[in-house]
Amino acid sequence: MTSTPLAADIGAFWNLSQTGDLLSRGFVQESLIAIALLGLIGGVLGPMIVARQMSFAVHGAAELSFTGAAAALLAGVGVNIGGVIGAVLAAAVFGLLGQRARERDSVIGVVMAFGLGLGVLFLSLHGRVGTGFALLTGQVVSVGRDGLIAVSITAAVVLVVYAIIYRPLLFASLDPRVAVSAGVPTRLLSVVFAVLVGLAAAQGVQIIGALLVMSLLITPAAAAVRLSANPTVVLVLSVVFAEIAAVGGLIASLAPELPVSVMVTSISFAIYLICRIAGVRRRG
């Protein structure tokens, strides 16, 4: 039996009404603010991550944030705190040991494999596999007030520090040899930026999961660089694309009750494909 146009219209109206009702709920509003802040952080940091070829480092920091969160579960302390500690320590190690691009991937791979093994061990000892799955896929609709406060503090710290180091970091990223000759502390900047990436990844794990952090920290920036080579334009586009994917993904998931992470990653990937096609046509 096929549905009539009227039935389809009624179903669409019902979905819209259901979405509007959910958007009025406090926990959904908290989730919207949290994921919007994550989109802002990801959009701002993303272009520099792409420029410095740190995509694998983001993945590594996210996975080791999972390890830190699992350790926190076992120790009986806050999961968010454990996730932040795990991601920041991992990012600092990546920044210190992986200064050169040719050795960075191997360092990340070695540390990440060891860290993931520890994470699995911690979850096994704790006995709550379901919680571990939530850390891998995210739990944005249960962020809560404490989670929102944590994301807000992280966003403030990341944005302020990034604004301070942005110009010398951009210089060091575009021409590292000249930057070293000019006295720019490239190693220190690398570690500081890696820690900022770790903080962002840790919050991303809590919201969209360790497996999907790159959809907001990398994909929007990768899409933006397809449209422009101007750093300022790329930064603005990256933030816009990240917010569309983050906020749009959460809203789109409400009525059909689909996983938020699926919608966020799908929208982010669609934006990337569109920008890639547009970029090819613009260059052609």
Residue 165 maps to a domain: yes
* The pLDDT of residue 143: 72
Higher local confidence (pLDDT), 168 or 257: 168
Q: What is the mean pLDDT of the chain?
A: 80
Domain-embedded: residue 81:
yes
pLDDT in tens, 158-173: 999 999 999 999 998 8
Residue 3 pLDDT exceeds 50 = no
Q: How many domains does the chain have?
A: 1
Domain encompassing residue 156: 27-209
The predicted-structure confidence for 194-205, as pLDDT tens digits, reads as follows 889 888 888 877
Residue 5 lies in a domain: no
The per-residue pLDDT for 242 is: 95
Output b/e per residue, 106-141; b: 16+ Cβ within 10 A.
ebbeebbeebbeebeebbeebeeeeebebbbbbbbb
3-state secondary structure of 78: coil
HSE-CB of 208 using CA atoms within 13 angstroms: 33
pLDDT over 50 (residue 9): no
Measured distance CA(108)–CA(53) in Å, rounded: 13
Is the pLDDT score of 176 beyond 60? yes
Share of the chain above pLDDT 90, in %: 25
> What pLDDT is recorded for position 13?
37
Domain membership of residue 157 (yes or no) is: yes
CATH of the domain at 116: 1.10.3470.10
Residue 6 lies in a domain: no
- Nearest residue to 242 (alpha-carbon basis) of 272, 210, 284: 272
Q: Is residue 260 part of a domain?
A: no
What is the predicted pLDDT for the residue at 39?
A: 92
What local confidence, expressed as pLDDT, does residue 158 receive? Answer: 94
Amino acid making up residue 96: L
The pLDDT of 80-107, averaged and rounded, is 74
Tokens 């860290």, residue located: 115
* AA identity, residue 122: F
Confidence of residue 42 (pLDDT cuts 50, 70, 90): very high
Q: What is the pLDDT of residue 263?
A: 85
Residue 17 lies in a domain: no
End-to-end alpha carbon distance in the chain: 49
- pTM metric for this prediction: 0.80
> Does the pLDDT of residue 223 top 50, yes or no?
yes
* Average pLDDT score over residue span 17-32: 69
At residue 217, does pLDDT exceed 60?
yes
Whether 246 contacts 39, CB under 8 Å: yes
Domain assignment present for residue 251? The answer is no
